[in-house]
Amino acid sequence: MKATKTIPTFKDEHEERLFWESHDATEYLDMEKARVVRFPNLKKTTRSISIRLPVDMIDALKVKANSMDVPYQSLIKMMLNEGLRA
């Protein structure tokens, strides 16, 4: 086990984020003791956006989403995600 530095106390999440953006976690954590952890109920932070689409495109999205039995906004997110992975 190697000696590690003490993690400072942060006043808020923003301050902590700034700290970790400029520091190496391996200097503060013993990675030999690390283990895989899953957070199955953790939801990603979302933000609403506005986007202008042609009416016929929205109608086509709604028809396709209805045939898949999903909300059309969910279909748009699925399509965007697939496009980003491609």
- The answer as to whether 78 is a domain residue is yes
Domain that holds residue 37: 13-85
Q: What is the dihedral of CA 28, 29, 30, 33, to 10 degrees?
A: 170
Look at residue 33 in the predicted model and tell me its pLDDT: 86
- Give residue for tokens 């045939």: 67
- For the segment 19-73, what is each residue's pLDDT rounded down to a tens digit? 999 999 889 988 888 899 988 888 888 899 999 999 999 999 999 999 999 999 9
Look at residue 76 in the predicted model and tell me its pLDDT: 97
Output 10 or 40, whichever has higher pLDDT.
10
Angle between helices 72-85 and 55-68 (to 10 degrees): 90
- The answer as to whether 3 is a domain residue is no
Please give the tally of structural domains in the chain: 1
Residue 33 is given by DSSP the state G
Residue 44, CA distances (Å) to 6, 41, 52, 75, 80 in order: 29, 10, 24, 17, 16
- The answer as to whether 4 is a domain residue is no
- The answer as to whether 8 is a domain residue is no
